[in-house]
């Protein structure tokens, strides 16, 4: 499917510089683009490619200033990165939808399950009693949807996802392969003889609308009540969310992060990769946690920037790291100062003794 630069600019409310009738049919990175490609430049270090690119159309920020002549057609927008993301979303809708509907065989759909209109259920999928699947939802092969579980409208559940009994998934949700929703939380009571008694996990997982969950992520069911992923949350691959956690709306979490039980993360937070949050704490709205940080206490100030283990104020942590790197040199300087003080002290004592004579 082809689009003209004029059509793309209209969709993005952008401003054209160049040929409005040039057509594009695919997207590409600017350093690899050929004729018919659309790409974008938001990071200044990629601006050098604009002058030689073969791309037919390039999205740029309004602030872009060309240092040399540009032969390609430019579309200026307030935010080229976000504009390109919107186009990729539309492009993916056109190119990646299977277009399939119906139930492939072999599969099992319980007689009491409720399946909406235009639903696709891939082969080797198991839909248990009283499960509900909303209209226009795609469930790819090898999935499990448990008893009384629900998946809303226009959602995409990729191959091999397991949604345990009683768990609820909203509309326009994307869950990537290998993810498990509703596995038991890590609840074991230590006994006097040194063994552990399992605490029954009787709650569920609730995933609200417009959430995306990466591959091989695990979200544990609550001991009681619900583990909740609020609307608009974006989660990377390989994330562990423990029982009774709540992730606030529009929070983004990078890969290999772990959030321990009963912790509440606020709205619009950003958590870097391999970060760890202990249990039973609260993270204020807008908090940003740097990669590999360990958060061990509640964060009460909104829009805090945290770094390190234990995590504390980002700028102060960088100053501390700089001091830490200089410790060997500082140690040598302190040792020399101590030696100098000892020499001066000995000299002063000698002078004092000499003056007494």
Residue environment code for 80-105, b if the CB has 16+ CB neighbours within 10 A, otherwise e:
beebbeebeeebeeeeeeeeeeebee
* Length of the chain measured in residues: 357
Residues 239/221, Cβ–Cβ less than 8 Å: no
Distance, C-alpha 145 to centroid of its chain:
24
The verdict on whether 243 is a catalytic residue reads yes
For residue 341, what is the enclosing H or E element? helix 327-356
Q: How far apart are the first and last CA of the chain?
A: 105
Give dist(CA 230, CA 239) in Å, integer. Answer: 16
Contacts of 61 (CB under 8 A, 6+ apart): 42, 76, 77, 78, 79, 80
Task: Tell me the C-alpha to C-alpha distance, in Å, between residue 98 and each of 153, 158, 189.
Answer: 16, 12, 47
| Of 138, 176, 243, 280, catalytic | 243
Residue 46 CB contacts under 8 Å (≥ 6 apart), including other chains:
30, 31
Q: What are phi and psi of 118, to 5 degrees?
A: 55, 35
* Beta strands, E only, 193-324: 196-198, 204-207, 212-213, 218-220, 226-229, 234-235, 240-241, 246-247, 252-253, 258-259, 264-265, 270-271, 276-277, 282-283, 288-289, 294-295, 305-307, 312-313
Do the beta carbons of residue 22 and residue 9 sit within 8 Å? no
Q: In what order do the strands lie in the sheet with 26-27?
A: 15-17, 73-77, 57-61, 37-41, 26-27
Angle among Cα 155, 95, 9 to the nearest 5 degrees reads 100
- Beta strand 156-157 with 252-253 is unpaired
| Positions marked active-site | 243
């Amino acid at each position: 499917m082809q689009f003209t630069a004029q059509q793309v600019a209209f969709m993005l409310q952008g401003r054209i510089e160049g040929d409005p009738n040039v057509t594009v049919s695919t997207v590409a990175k600017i350093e690899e683009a050929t004729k018919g490609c659309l790409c974008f430049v938001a990071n200044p270090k990629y601006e050098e490619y604009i002058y030689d690119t073969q791309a037919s159309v390039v999205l740029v920020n309004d602030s872009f200033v060309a240092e040399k002549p540009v032969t390609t057609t430019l579309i200026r927008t307030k935010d080229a990165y976000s504009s390109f993301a919107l186009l990729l979303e539309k492009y993916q809708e056109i190119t990646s939808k299977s277009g399939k509907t119906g139930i492939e065989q072999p599969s099992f759909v319980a007689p009491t399950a409720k399946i909406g209109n235009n639903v696709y259920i891939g082969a080797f999928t198991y839909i248990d009693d009283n499960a509900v699947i909303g209209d226009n939802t795609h469930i790819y092969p090898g999935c499990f949807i448990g008893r009384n579980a629900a998946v809303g409208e226009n959602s995409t559940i990729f191959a091999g996802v397991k949604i345990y009994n009683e768990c609820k998934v909203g509309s326009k949700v994307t869950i990537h392969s290998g993810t498990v929703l509703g596995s038991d939380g890590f609840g074991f009571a230590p006994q006097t003889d040194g063994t552990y008694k399992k605490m029954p996990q009787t709650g569920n997982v609730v995933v609200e609308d417009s959430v995306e969950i990466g591959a091989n992520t695990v979200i544990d069911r609550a001991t009681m009540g619900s583990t909740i992923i609020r609307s608009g949350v974006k989660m990377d691959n390989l994330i562990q969310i423990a029982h009774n956690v709540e992730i606030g709306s529009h929070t983004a979490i990078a890969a290999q992060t772990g959030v321990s039980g009963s912790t509440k993360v606020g709205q619009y937070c950003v958590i870097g990769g391999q970060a760890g949050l202990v249990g039973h704490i609260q993270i204020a709205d807008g908090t940003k946690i740097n990669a590999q940080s360990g958060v061990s206490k509640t964060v009460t100030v909104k829009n805090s920037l945290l770094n390190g283990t234990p995590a504390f104020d980002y700028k102060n942590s960088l100053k501390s790291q700089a001091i830490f790197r200089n410790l060997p040199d500082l140690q040598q300087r302190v040792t020399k100062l101590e030696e100098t003080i000892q020499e001066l002290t000995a000299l002063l004592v000698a002078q004092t003794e000499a003056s007494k004579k």
